[in-house]
Structure 1
């Protein structure tokens, strides 16, 4: 009798396991996501490289699971976490945390995060911030692509990747490096020349990712970087740096034209471009509508606007983080990220163009 019961128990366990598996598969809107970018979506890659630009210490992560710093440049979850959550995927691991694991190839089936705090389109950002540039991130992705081909074959890999999402959040550090108070780049080129170089370089980078199987691009535009606490602190009035904002907006318009051009050249490409710039200005100009009370000062830091000393263990931080748009000198709070991603995922034009990420995933 006991044997019979154990067989029945196993049978029901097996059936429930299959149901759970099917339910999990059904909950996934895409099979995988691969994320490239900077500190807005870094989930810990910088913990694994020689860089001063890290977030693996307090008070970062104070609202994250376990209240511990993980390498995310915010108080809790960042944009990468919220996007994969909405897609029904598990939180993506940082690529550099997997490279030493023995089963690394299997780890890539659901995607991986290559983003690195301080990264830029141009390799010159490395002189400001030790980071993995976008070119280096694509090099790592090329290695992952090779691993997938070994596991799934060329046709199987292309099938997986053509249905997967490729998230790209890049460009802010190129701008901040240029508009920084002591930048030597300003003597070497005009803002227009910088943008020309950024867009032509980005075009080559996106084509490289496309040639490695990507078909669905979710591009998150550059925000109004002139309004981050670090830039406001450089102004005696505490107002936004309008020059930096103008060129940030112009860059986004250039990216829009680039994506349209790529789509016209290859109909297999689909994309969603999110206007982070306008959404951030909405937060600043109409904070009550989004539940914010502080749009200028950082939550964590010291000095004027808490923007003279970065968010370090010695810094003070605000008691109610959800009131603030900015966590530190440059980065949004978890509350701001959540609203951004709600709009990235479900928003409509003009914020999400020409479609949102939910619609992109369904293609």
Structure 2
């Protein structure tokens, strides 16, 4: 994985200080030792800020508008995202971006930086290595897993093999990924000629399985998976539709992938009976938001909060854009990403267990003995 000095910027000191302070305040009430996050922009907490060539960065106003610092910080939303809220539920500090930690050469071998977890997530990342990864726009899943292997080696060096094994086995691994693979499929006539939608999503699930088995070989045992939402209902996809309705072809691909993912997980559980997982049905949660918005405090479920043009989805969330005064009542922050309010509800439903979690909620998963 290419992570040389040219890829990072000199802001890691902020993260090191923040991490130490947050550990001091969050050490009590921890549910699990650590949270490791892998995925795309839904859970990126700033890794892309350290990719020198990437343009996929949430660094402009009005991103971060409702974050405690009130400033852009690499999260593709107005405030906190699902990784932050999951960490809060687990009694942990928000997992810092991996690239921020290793950018400081004097700290990169300090195992205490990784003890409560790390985020490897990267905006634009997919299960497959797409063009974004080829041109160093984001970090693909296999390289995120490779970064975890480096963290595991560091923990082993400082805690000993039995200590690191137990620490990792009791920790949670949050996966939010697959959106960009389907976006790539929707834009590529070559991919559509080469694979039917079913063949493509089956390949996605199979590739993800390979990475899960790799993580398992490095002691990972507890996994949280977010299924894909109805991606055809984002403002960006509605804007493609003359009626402003959802793109049902793309929604059907998301459903296909979710079915393939669940089938793969059930099979993997049979192969590796020492793993446990929680699956969050984002597809039906978002459908519930759209069909019954007032029950969740939403008044706008079609248009973005920040942007310009039809559904605020023609021009992205740039400093020239408009943004809604009440972000709490919007489902979408920009043309593809949820608001902080939406992220919060996602994790509430995932953590406590509901009809949208299978076979258990995250709180129950955290309590599973390893």
- Per the normalisation by structure 2, the TM-score is 0.89
Tell me if the contact between 2:64 and 2:78 (Cα under 8 Å) persists in the aligned partners. Answer: yes
Q: 2:301 aligns with which of 295, 301, 307?
A: 295
Show the counterpart of 1:5: none
Root-mean-square deviation over aligned CA pairs: 1.6
Q: 2:329 aligns with which of 323, 327, 350?
A: 323
Matched residues in 2 for 1:341 and 1:258: separation?
A: 23
**Residue pairs, 1:85-234, within 5 angstroms:** 85-101=88-104, 102-104=106-108, 105-124=111-130, 126=132, 130-180=137-187, 184-234=190-240
Deviation at 1:183, TM superposition (A): 5.1
Q: 1:211 to 1:125 in 2, by over 3 A?
A: farther
What number of residue pairs does the alignment pair up? Answer: 341
Q: 1:312 aligns with which of 314, 318, 327?
A: 318
Tell me if the contact between 1:298 and 1:329 (Cα under 8 Å) persists in the aligned partners. Answer: yes
Tell me if the contact between 1:93 and 1:112 (Cα under 8 Å) persists in the aligned partners. Answer: yes
Tell me if the contact between 2:239 and 2:310 (Cα under 8 Å) persists in the aligned partners. Answer: yes
Q: 1:286 aligns with which of 269, 283, 292?
A: 292
SS at match of 2:160: helix
**Residue pairs, 1:30-45, within 5 angstroms:** 30-45=32-47
Matched residues in 2 for 1:136 and 1:280: separation?
A: 30
Tell me if the contact between 1:119 and 1:129 (Cα under 8 Å) persists in the aligned partners. Answer: no
Deviation at 1:348, TM superposition (A): 2.0
Deviation at 1:187, TM superposition (A): 3.0
Matched residues in 1 for 2:25 and 2:309: separation?
A: 51
Show the counterpart of 1:10: none
Tell me if the contact between 1:79 and 1:341 (Cα under 8 Å) persists in the aligned partners. Answer: yes
CA deviations over 1:188-243 (Å, ceiling 9, x no partner): 32212211211111110111111111000011111110100110000000100111
Q: 1:108 to 1:22 in 2, by over 3 A?
A: closer
Worse overlay, 185-194 or 327-336? 185-194
CA deviations over 1:299-320 (Å, ceiling 9, x no partner): 0011110101111111111111
SS at match of 1:85: helix
Tell me if the contact between 1:118 and 1:125 (Cα under 8 Å) persists in the aligned partners. Answer: no
SS at match of 2:69: helix
Show the counterpart of 1:257: 263
Q: 2:79 aligns with which of 76, 80, 83?
A: 76
Q: 1:305 to 1:177 in 2, by over 3 A?
A: same
Show the counterpart of 2:361: 356
Tell me if the contact between 2:202 and 2:257 (Cα under 8 Å) persists in the aligned partners. Answer: no
**What residue ranges of structure 2 are gaps of 5+ in the alignment?**
1-22
CA deviations over 1:115-165 (Å, ceiling 9, x no partner): 000000011252698210001101111111111110111111101011100
Show the counterpart of 1:238: 244
- Per the normalisation by structure 1, the TM-score is 0.91
Please identify the structure whose Cα radius of gyration is greater.
1
Matched residues in 2 for 1:23 and 1:335: separation?
A: 24
Tell me if the contact between 1:225 and 1:231 (Cα under 8 Å) persists in the aligned partners. Answer: yes
